[in-house]
Chain A
Amino acid sequence: EAGVTQSPTHLIKTRGQQATLRCSPISGHTSVYWYQQALGLGLQFLLWYDEGEERNRGNFPPRFSGRQFPNYSSELNVNALELEDSALYLCASSFAPRPLGGGELFFGEGSRLTVL
């Protein structure tokens, strides 16, 4: 069974440009999560999508946005790139949310974004 796949693996952009990152969840998973992993800062929650809707958003500016498609894949868009956006962007997927919460997240290998 294929795991969570992300593309591109690496992306180099310059300040002010836009970046688009893509994620395909594990088959059967309806939830997709995006995390930013910058050096020394752990995993910072960006966005959570389930069944095509944004369910929660982390403390990031509006230039970080995304969407989930009918096939549950997702893309993350970062507009007006800044140097501090350089990080590893991890996508994770899981089964549908449970009423009491809690369930394993399956992560992809990540997309390394470098902003020059």
Chain B
Amino acid sequence: GENVEQHPSTLSVQEGDSAVIKCTYSDSASNYFPWYKQELGKRPQLIIDIRSNVGEKKDQRIAVTLNKTAKHFSLHITETQPEDSAVYFCAAATGGGNKLTFGTGTQLKVEL
């Protein structure tokens, strides 16, 4: 089955700096790659996603890149703000349906 690895497990940045979280997946048939944000004590929520026919997608301060050949994808957050502090999960889905295999999460802390 699919295996998703995520790095780093913790990331601390200064407010205004950029943050990058990287994930690799094992199943070359995976075709959908979402990112979820989970604030402390809250439910995970989708922040951005990308499909395998697209190499990059951007939404304001957030961007995701996908390298199908290398089987890795990354989340980029620019101009970080304190409210970006949360746990971020990458995920991959294969084939029909929405069953997601998640990475182990990255605890992002944005310091003032």
CB of A103 within 8 A of CB of B43, answer: no
CB of A101 within 8 A of CB of B31, answer: yes
CB of B95 within 8 A of CB of A42, answer: no
Residues of A within 8 A of B67 (CB): none
Residues of A within 8 A of B45 (CB): 107
Cβ of B20 under 8 Å from chain A: no
Q: How many residue pairs at the A-B interface have CB separations less than 8 Å?
A: 77
Q: Could you say which interface size class chain A belongs to?
A: 20 to 34
CB of A100 within 8 A of CB of B31, answer: yes
Other-chain contact of B31, A56, A90, A102, A109 (Cβ < 8 Å) = A102
CB of A101 within 8 A of CB of B32, answer: yes
Residues of B within 8 A of A25 (CB): none
Q: Could you say which interface size class chain B belongs to?
A: 20 to 34
Give A44 to B94 CA distance when docked, in angstroms: 16
Query: Nearest-CB distance from B7 to chain A (Å)?
Result: 13
Residues of A within 8 A of B31 (CB): 100-102
CB of B97 within 8 A of CB of A90, answer: no
Other-chain contact of B43, A33, A90, A98 (Cβ < 8 Å) = A90
Give A98 to B51 CA distance when docked, in angstroms: 13
Cβ of B61 under 8 Å from chain A: no
CB of A43 within 8 A of CB of B96, answer: no
CB of A97 within 8 A of CB of B97, answer: yes
Who on chain B is nearest to A59 by CB?
Answer: B1
Q: Which residues of B contact A (CB under 8 A)?
A: 1, 6, 31-32, 34, 42-46, 49, 51, 89, 93-105
